[in-house]
Structure 1
Amino acid sequence: MARWQEQEGARRQAEEAAYHAAKEKACGRHRPHRPKIKPVRQGRATMWTEFWTIHGWEEGYEGTVPELVEELVGSERGGLAIWASDEIGHACVTVESYRRQPPLEIKGWDEVVQVGYDSPGGALTLSDGNGKSLTGLTAAGPGAYRVRVHLRGRRLVYQVPDPPDGAVELLIMVFPGEQKKPVVYR
């Protein structure tokens, strides 16, 4: 019995690893974003959620769950939330941090929303439900920022019971900015 349980556990681990590898491969097929100005940092990841959103927190602000603007992005001091899937799923995420405001890019994106973000420690980290994280989002240290989130694929997720892998793409740009009021571009 013990040997069967061990074999079953190994089989399940291999099955889960293959599942995640397929999702990673689907996200890898998307062309990398080519920013119009050079970011300080750029990162890509396949991020997972079981409750619609991925979160960004700074130390001491974990658990903050801001309300979303246009059901896409929300922020509070030290906390950020970004819609990523329909309840359970994954999103192909690109993050870019800048020291100045990047040019607005709306072509090819279904939704673009920008919010203010107050960084108490200058160390915002975006994390998913599987422990994956993207760090270094607040390049100018503590202070006021703008977070611009670009999304494509949400309509497909809601229209099809089993959307194709890699259907949801997010581009998240973080840059210094004093304005607190959200702006909906698209």
Structure 2
Amino acid sequence: GHRAGSLHVFPDTTPDQVVLAYGRHLCGVHTRNDPRELARLKIDRASLTYPLDGICPSATTIGQAAKAEQDKEIAAMEADSQAMCDATPRHRPRTRPARAIRIKEPQWTDYGVLQTYEGEGEEETGPDIDPGNGLVSSARGILAVMTHPDFDLCVTLETYTRRPPVETKGWDKVVEVGYYSPGGKIVLYDNVGGTELPNLALNGRKGHYRIRVHYAWFPWKGEAEGGQRLLIMAYPGKGDREIVHRNRKMT
């Protein structure tokens, strides 16, 4: 039925003009903003603002101002995250990658996991994805990268034709795992939040890869307080052995 907040619920059969008259009456109450009238009617003016928004100019003005304020805050936070990712150090590859992508926009996850699902018709749940190394785990068709869900990610992806030199300087964690790609689509994504990274596979090549994930916390003096840097390298290579090149204990 028609309702204005939790103020008065009309049955569905109520004629529109009765509901409109009640809305006009409430609009007058809202516009006058007379403490005695509000007290007499036992109405809290703020609770009228939302139900009357769009039909009562004084409420609409407040609603628009609140939305504008909210939009401004969101824009400021996004600009701050962008500035943070712009400020993260650029990775200079030691050997020439076949493809390197520094993703300009900050990425985020809903619950800290970025995962590929290349299963061949099996269930898309895969193994228990709590990697002992705290960063990356893999199984056939499933690669999972763990991050902190509350901070933005500044991501660089590099795909090589052969094994690149190991780099640990400037990183908190560097872990390499084997991964078998049944479809040549090594696309990490967060299926809740919708974040999706570009394909890491070498020209859509299927088969065995080694995936090396570099992680560092990036302190920041802005709104964000800090962010996470991720550098993910992929190259064709056999072997499932997990190699922890670096694992500084995070505080």
TM-score by length of 1: 0.81
* Structure with bigger RCO (C-alpha 8 Å, 6+ apart): 1
Describe how 1:1-186 pairs up with structure 2 within 5 A.
Answer: 1-2=53-54, 3=60, 5=63, 8-9=66-67, 11-45=69-103, 46-58=106-118, 62-64=124-126, 66-85=129-148, 87-128=149-190, 130-139=193-202, 141-153=205-217, 164-166=225-227, 168-186=228-246
Is contact 1:48-1:54 (8 Å) kept?
Answer: no
Query: What is the CA-CA distance between 1:122 and the residue it aligns to?
Result: 0.3
Query: What is the CA-CA distance between 1:130 and the residue it aligns to?
Result: 4.0
Opposite residue 109 of structure 1, the aligned amino acid is W
Is contact 2:217-2:226 (8 Å) kept?
Answer: no
Distance 1:34 1:144, change over 3 A: same
Q: Report the equivalent of 2:17.
A: none
Q: Report the equivalent of 2:35.
A: none
Opposite residue 214 of structure 2, the aligned amino acid is H
Query: What is the CA-CA distance between 1:10 and the residue it aligns to?
Result: 5.2
**Root mean square deviation, CA, Å:** 2.6
**Alpha-carbon distance in 2 for matches of 1:83, 1:138:** 20
Query: What is the CA-CA distance between 1:32 and the residue it aligns to?
Result: 1.3
In structure 2, the gaps of 5 or more residues are 1-52, 55-59, 247-251
SS of 2:108's equivalent in the other structure is strand
SS of 1:19's equivalent in the other structure is helix
Query: What is the CA-CA distance between 1:69 and the residue it aligns to?
Result: 3.6
**Alpha-carbon distance in 2 for matches of 1:36, 1:21:** 31
Opposite residue 208 of structure 2, the aligned amino acid is A
SS of 2:200's equivalent in the other structure is coil
TM-score by length of 2: 0.62
Q: Over residues 31-66 of structure 1, what are the superposed CA-to-partner deviations in whole Å (9 max), with x where a residue is unaligned? A: 210001111221223221231222233376755463
Structure number having the greater strand percentage:
1
Is contact 2:209-2:235 (8 Å) kept?
Answer: yes
Structure whose alpha-carbon radius of gyration is higher: 2
Is contact 2:80-2:224 (8 Å) kept?
Answer: no
Percent identity among equivalent residues? 37
Query: What is the CA-CA distance between 1:175 and the residue it aligns to?
Result: 0.7
